[in-house]
Amino acid sequence: MPDTPSASAPLLDVRGLRFARDEMPLFGPLDFRVEAGEALLVQGGNGAGKTTLLRVLAGLLDGGQGEVRLSDAPVAAAARAGHVAYLGHLPGLKVDLSAGENLDYLCGLLGRRPTLDIDAALAIVGLAGFDDAPVRHLSAGQRRRLALARLWLSPAPLWLLDEPYANLDLPGIELVNRMVRAHLDAGGGALVTTHGAYAAPPVRTRLLTLGREAPAA
Ligand SMILES: Nc1ncnc2c1ncn2[C@@H]1O[C@H](COP(=O)(O)OP(=O)(O)OP(=O)(O)O)[C@@H](O)[C@H]1O
């Protein structure tokens, strides 16, 4: 956890964050924050930089300049993976392992909420009985649900969700909304990227728009 946590501090406080690729600016400088109990919708068209922003915040992509504070303490990119839960386009699963083995492995790597076990998390995302199923036999939507189980098991208060509705059916979309609402009700926060093709999660939401027309909100 950050060195100097503060109950009233925002979960995420970003100051002057900018990113350039091959010296071409992609976004920024951006200033925004995420308070406990709220979601920040990161909006923008294809190529606007939404995924890049989330990967920079997660510490998965080098090259961002500016300050990223988590619960009132600056956290360098290399240390951020242990402080946030990132749900990316690719589920980040090992296809040769079973669903349960994947969750066990990821919990060992990134930590786990002590009040929840793997079977319960699988049941919550509609994968009860899939514990021993090899991930290579799962559909794209089932893999997405497995990644949601990992998210649900994570102890991190800040979720970074890159198009979390991708590959999901309507019950899956409702599942994401329930999960986000429960996470925020418990004092967590979330960044959620969106093209605007789906309704936003029904939670307290602010907006950050990437793109030339509206650099930041
Ligand atoms: N690995 C990479 N190497 C070079 N350029 C990249 C790489 N990844 C992304 N880009 C470029 O960076 C820009 C932003 O990409 P990014 O994926 O962040 O956008 P996005 O807003 O998430 O887009 P989408 O809505 O299409 O998913 C795009 O112009 C893209 O071509």
Q: Which of 111, 143, 110, 113 is nearest to 126 (CA)?
A: 143
Predicted pLDDT of residue 211: 84
C-beta separation of 5 from 73 below 8 A: yes
Predicted pLDDT of residue 71: 87
Minimal-distance CA residue to ligand 1 atom 8: 52
Per-residue pLDDT of the chain (217 residues; tens, 9 = 90+): 344 445 578 999 999 999 999 889 999 999 999 999 999 999 998 999 999 999 999 999 988 999 999 988 888 887 887 789 999 988 789 999 999 999 999 998 888 998 889 999 999 999 999 999 999 999 999 999 999 999 999 999 999 999 999 889 999 999 999 999 999 999 999 999 987 766 778 888 899 999 865 444 4
Closest atom, ligand 1, to C-alpha of 210:
21
Q: Alpha carbon of 35 to those of 15, 17, 123, 186: distances in Å?
A: 15, 18, 29, 12
Judged on CB neighbours under 10 Å (0-12, 13-18, 19+), 62 is exposed
C-beta separation of 135 from 146 below 8 A: yes
27 CA to centre of ligand 1 in angstroms: 11
Domains in the chain with CATH codes: 1-83+157-217 (3.40.50.300), 90-155 (no CATH)
Best residue for ligand 1 mutational test, from 52, 53, 160, 162 (most atoms within 8 Å of Cβ): 52
Cα 168 → chain centroid: 16
Instruction: Show Cβ contacts of residue 194 under 8 Å, excluding neighbours closer than 6 positions.
Output: 41, 42, 43, 163, 200
